[in-house]
Chains A and B, each alone.
Chain A
Amino acid sequence: MKKLIILAGAAFFITGTISAQKFYTKNGKINFDATSSSSPERVEGVNRTATCVVDVASGAMQFAVLMKGFAFERALMEEHFNENYIESHKFPKAEFKGSIVNNSSVNYSKDGSYTVTVKGKLTIHGETKDVETQGKLIVEKGKINAIADFSVLLADYNISIPGLVADKVSKTAKITVNCSLEPLKS
C-alpha cells in the first residue's frame, strides 16, 4: 500500500517535471527588414516583446508577435507599416506554429550549440504559409537561445508594395529571430 502511494506521488512528480520541459520567453527579439538594395534609408523594425514557447520533449515550437510592437527608426515608417502594409488594426498578431524537425539530435541537458531545422506555418497579415528554415539552439546553463533568420515574400502574405516606394521597400522581408528562453514552471 505504501509503495503504491509513493508510486502515485511519483506519477504526479514525474509528469510535473515532464511539463516543465518547456521553455519560453515573452521578450523575444524579432527584426523585420524590408530595405530595398537601392534605398537610402533603412526600412527596418525591431520587436522586443515576442512570445515564444518550445516544448523540448516533442520539439513543438510556437511564436506570437504583436505587430504594433515593431519600432522603426522613423515614426512615419512605423505609421505606414501599421496603417498601409500590415494593417495591424485588422491583423494584430503574427504567429508561427511548427516544430523542430531534428529535435532528437538536440541534447537539451548538455550545453552546446545545435543546428536545427524548423518547419511550420507562419501567419502574417491574415495569410498562412508554410515556412522552413535553419536555425540554431544554444543550450547554456539550463537556458536556450534560439536564433534563426529567413526571408518571406511579402506578396505571399497579401502585402503589396506600390511602385512609388519600390526603390525603398523590398518585395521580400528578412526576418531575424533571437529569443532567450527560460524554463517554464508549471
Chain B
Amino acid sequence: MKKLSSLILFVSVSVLVCKSAIGQDEDLLKLVGGDERPQKERIKYAFKSPRVINSHSMEFLNPGTMDFRILHRFGQLDQGYKNFFGLDQASMRMSFDFGIMQNLMVGVGRSTYKKELDAFIKYAPMRQSTGPWSSPVTIALVSGISMDGLPWADPNRKNFFTSKLAYYFQAIIGRKFSEGFTLQITPTMVHKNIVPLQTDPNNIYALGIGGRLKLSQRIAFTWDYTHVIIGMPDSGYYHPLSVGFDIETGGHVFQLHFSNATGMNERAFITETTGQWGKGEIRFGFNLSRVFQIKKRKR
C-alpha cells in the first residue's frame, strides 16, 4: 500500500515538474497549428500578361482591373536601311481588356490593319491549383469576333454586313510547371464568313503552342507559335511564329519581340501571315500593357 501511494506521489510530482519544465523553448505555434487542413490554392502568375505575344495566355486579368494595350508591328527587317529595318512603317492595335471575375474577362480592340474591330470573351471553367480537388492545368475558352472596316471591294454587287465578320473559338490548356516555366497549347478554329476565292476554306483549324521561361524576376523569354493544320491556302501564307521578351517595369509590361505576323487579332495573324522567317521577312514589334485598377478592391 505504501509503495502504491509513494508511486502516485512520484507520478504526480513528476507530472508537475515536467509540464512546467517544457514551457521554455517549445514552439508555441504547434499548439494551434494542428487543425490546419490543406486548402485548395490557385496557381497564380503563369504569365505576366493575359497574352503570350499574339495569342491569349492562360492568365486572366484580376477582377476590377483594365488592361490598356498598345501593340505595334513594324515593317520587315529585310527592307534594310532604306526603311530603317522596318521601323519607318508601323501597324498598330489598341485594346481595352477588362477583368470581370477571377476566371472571366472581355476585351475590345481596333487594328489599323484592315481597320478591323475585334472583341472577345474569355472564360476558364478550370484553373490550375494545388490541394484537394485541384486541377493540374488551366482550361480556358475564348470566343471572339472581328469586323473588317474596309470599304466594300466591289460596291456594285449586293453586299451583306455579315460578310465583314469572322469568328474564332479557342481552348487554352496550360500549365505552370515551375516558377520559371509555363507551357500552353491552344487548339483554335477560325471561321470567316467570306473568303476571296471559292477554293479558299471558310473554316481554318490551328494549334498553337506558347510558353514562358523566366530569366529573372522581371524578365522572361516568351514564344508563341500557331500551326495551321487545316485550311492553309496553297501559297503565300505561313504559320505565325513570334519570340520575344517580357520586361516588367513597375506598372507596365513591355513585350518586345520578333514575328512574321502583321495582324494582331486571331483572324489576322492565324490566317493572314505572309512573312517567312527563313527569308528574313520578320518584323520587330512591341506590346505595351498597362493595368489600371478601376474598381476598388475589398480587403
Chain B residues near A164: list those with CB within 8 A.
Answer: 249-250
B76 at the interface (CB under 8 A from A): no
Determine if A8 and B250 form an interchain contact, defined as CB atoms under 8 angstroms apart: no
Does A24 lie within 8 Å of B32, measured CB to CB?
Answer: yes
Q: In whole Å, how far is A40's beta carbon from the nearest beta carbon of chain B?
A: 11
Cα A53 to Cα B299 with chains together (Å): 24
Is B101 positioned at the interface, with any CB of A under 8 Å from its CB?
no
Chain A residues, Cβ within 8 Å of B248: 84
With contacts defined as CB atoms under 8 Å apart, how many contacts are there between chain A and chain B in the complex? 103
Known contacts A1-B1, A7-B9, A58-B23; A15/B16 CB under 8 A:
yes
In the assembled complex, the Cα of A55 lies from the Cα of B19 at a distance in Å of: 13
In the complex, which residue of chain B has the Cβ closest to the Cβ of A7?
A: B12
| A12, A18, A75, A79: residue with the most chain B Cβ atoms closer than 10 Å | A75
Q: Which of B1-29 contact A (CB under 8 A)?
A: 1, 4-5, 8-9, 11-13, 15-16, 19-20, 23-24, 27-29
Interface size class of B (residues with CB under 8 A): 35 or more
Contact A73 B19 (CB under 8 A): no
B28 adjacent to A15 (CB under 8 Å): no
A53 with B31: CB separation less than 8 A: yes
A22 lies within 8 A of B31 (CB): yes
Does A155 interact with chain B (Cβ within 8 Å)? no
Q: With contacts A1-B5, A5-B8, A19-B19 known, is A53 near B28, CB below 8 A?
A: yes
Q: Nearest Cβ in chain B — how far from A124, in angstroms?
A: 16
Given A14-B16, A84-B218, verify A60-B28 contact (CB < 8 Å).
yes
Inter-chain contact B31/A8, CB cutoff 8 Å: no
| Distance to closest chain B CB from A87 (angstroms) | 8
B31-73, CB < 8 A from A: 31-33, 41, 44-45, 62-65
How many residues of A sit at the interface, in one of the four size bands?
A: 35 or more
A119 to chain B, nearest CB (A): 15
B299/A73 in contact, CB under 8 A? yes
Are B12 and A11 interface neighbours, CB within 8 A? yes
Most buried by B among A15, A57, A82, A186: A15
Question: Is B79 engaged at the interface, CB distance under 8 Å to the other chain?
Answer: no
What chain A residues lie within 8 Å of B15 (beta carbons)? 11-12, 15
Residues of the B chain whose Cβ atoms lie less than 8 Å from the Cβ of A46: 299
For the complex, is A83 an interface residue (Cβ under 8 Å from B)? yes
Q: How far is the CA of A71 from the CA of B293 in the complex (A)?
A: 14
**Interface pairs A-B: 4 shortest CB-CB:** A75-B62, A11-B12, A53-B28, A15-B19
| 20 chain-A/chain-B pairs, Cβ below 8 angstroms | A8-B11, A8-B12, A10-B12, A12-B12, A24-B28, A24-B31, A26-B32, A51-B29, A53-B31, A58-B23, A61-B28, A72-B299, A75-B297, A76-B65, A76-B251, A76-B291, A84-B248, A90-B179, A164-B249, A186-B31
Task: Mark B residues whose CB is within 8 Å of A.
Answer: 1, 4-5, 8-9, 11-13, 15-16, 19-20, 23-24, 27-29, 31-33, 41, 44-45, 62-65, 179, 217-218, 248-251, 291, 293, 296-297, 299
